[in-house]
Structure 1
Amino acid sequence: MAATEAGPAAPLPGGIGISKLTVYDAAAPDGLVGGSPHVHLACSEGYYVTAGTGSVQTLTPKAYTETPLRPGTVVWFDPGTIHRAVNGGGLQILALMSNSGLPEAGDAVMTFPPEHLTDRATYLDASALTGDDVTAAALARRDLALEGYAVLRDRYEAEGPSALDDFYAAAVGIVRPQIAAWRARWEQGARRLADETGAALDALEAGTAPHLATAELHEIPAPIETGRHGMCGRLDIYERPA
């Protein structure tokens, strides 16, 4: 059966979100090339490397690590993992995000210095991309995040996992006003598909399969947006419209 033009958009399999990420190729003040360190509060995220080389730096209550990235590498990390993509040359990634791409809907807080994390309004002001040169603004935002990231890493070396507590608490306060919208997205995406799978299993166990009668093809023929300035680089977005 051909894909239909009308009706509500079907979530991607498993209620995931996908974006093509071309990691920034401009050097940061620490001499490394790449994106902004940040954290997701409710979502896991995975990388499938499609081109180039580099690494991902991760900081969690368990450890700081640097994981090499090359074509074919798959890595993923849980909510609470502070991560930074480092571009060793031509790094391109297919980013896989849980909960219908919630990270592209605001589930991300950059590691700005504490004075920029005091409340949501202060954070949004620091993270806004303003001015005529959006690329320059995105890189300035990255460099601000790296300032706070350096402090976090130094504190982590000295204090251990408790060094992350203040940042986590600030991040929770920043995202709380978005939770109702996130919940609606989750309910219509990942939760809906999980419930449908449960119903299908129940039917199959009973020897029936009514869900097979509604099978069809779904398609996103091209990104709905290309070249968006994200935290780690330029994004081609494949989020299905609501």
Structure 2
Amino acid sequence: MSGFPGAVGVSQLCVYAGGGSPHLHTASTEGYVVLRGGGTLSTLGGDGPGEHPLEPGTVLWFTPGTVHRLVNPGDDLEILVVMQNAGLPEAGDAVLTFPADVLADPEAYARAAAAPRTEEEAARRRDLAVEGFEALRERVRREGPSAMKDLYEAAARLVAPRVEGWRGIWEERVLAQAHRTAAHLDALAAGDSSHLAESSVTRAAPPERRFGMCGRLRAWDWTS
């Protein structure tokens, strides 16, 4: 299996009532396509704080380092999430905006960030991340985007031990697709159409929903 086009991950997200857990990605760009409902995406990043309205048909994306939090005033906000570097987010690319003392302690962070098994656990994790997010947003408003430096340094320390494993995932999934396209272009330039005879269709069954950072999530694994 070659993986989903562009080596991206695709998931269907039903956002928690009230909103999701603020976090950032350290290596991957994330995109949203709003399917139904409405709300707001609150962000913090190199361009300062932002509030981005969401409604059906909204398409937006944000680069690594953008802290983002989905705010859902109702209970019907549903989003198609398109994630760069399929496999890296699942391997720990995301860092939640817990208070500074939790971010400074890898063991405390791991306990606080553990995957929730119930809606109550998901809410506790979210509320702790919102606490850190609100404090950081106030700092950014007072000091400007330079106030993000402490969070970025903490995030880099937390993910550093995983980076070599990520590199293998990236080479196997992302880089391999780029090399495959390069080979196809070389073949076509030479008048060789043999790769077209290998064409096929892949269908993936809907996965079960789980408790994600921002809501109930169906995340497809294109490698299984």
TM-score band by shorter chain is over 0.9
Mapped partners of 2:158, 2:10: distance in 1: 24
* Residues 45 and 96 in structure 1, CA contact (< 8 A), matched pair in contact too: yes
Mapped partners of 2:105, 2:221: distance in 1: 29
Q: Does 1:50 align with 2:35?
A: yes
1:137-181 C-alpha deviation (Å, 9 max, x unpaired) = 111111101111111111111111110001001011111121122
Q: Does 1:213 align with 2:197?
A: yes
Root mean square deviation, CA, Å: 1.4
Alignment partner, residue 55 of structure 2 = 70
TM-score w.r.t. structure 2 length?
0.95
- Secondary structure (helix, strand or coil) at the match of 1:172 reads helix
Q: Does 1:200 align with 2:184?
A: yes
Alignment partner, residue 30 of structure 1 = none
> Which one-letter code corresponds to 1:235 in the other structure?
L
Alignment partner, residue 28 of structure 1 = none
Alignment partner, residue 209 of structure 2 = 227
Q: Does 1:107 align with 2:93?
A: yes
- Secondary structure (helix, strand or coil) at the match of 1:216 reads coil
Gapped regions of structure 2 (runs ≥ 5): none
1:42-86 C-alpha deviation (Å, 9 max, x unpaired) = 000001111111111111111211111111111111011100011
Question: How far 1:129 moved relative to its partner?
Answer: 4.6
> Which one-letter code corresponds to 2:82 in the other structure?
L
> Which one-letter code corresponds to 2:186 in the other structure?
D
Taking only the aligned residue pairs, the percentage that are identical comes to 48
2:154 to 170, 189, 199: 170
Q: Which runs of 4+ in 1 moved over 6 A?
A: none
- Secondary structure (helix, strand or coil) at the match of 2:37 reads strand
* Residues 2 and 177 in structure 2, CA contact (< 8 A), matched pair in contact too: no
Mapped partners of 1:60, 1:129: distance in 2: 25
- Secondary structure (helix, strand or coil) at the match of 2:73 reads strand
* Residues 119 and 170 in structure 1, CA contact (< 8 A), matched pair in contact too: no
Gapped regions of structure 1 (runs ≥ 5): 1-8, 26-32
> Which one-letter code corresponds to 1:162 in the other structure?
S
Mapped partners of 1:13, 1:216: distance in 2: 13
TM-score w.r.t. structure 1 length?
0.88
Q: Does 1:237 align with 2:223?
A: no
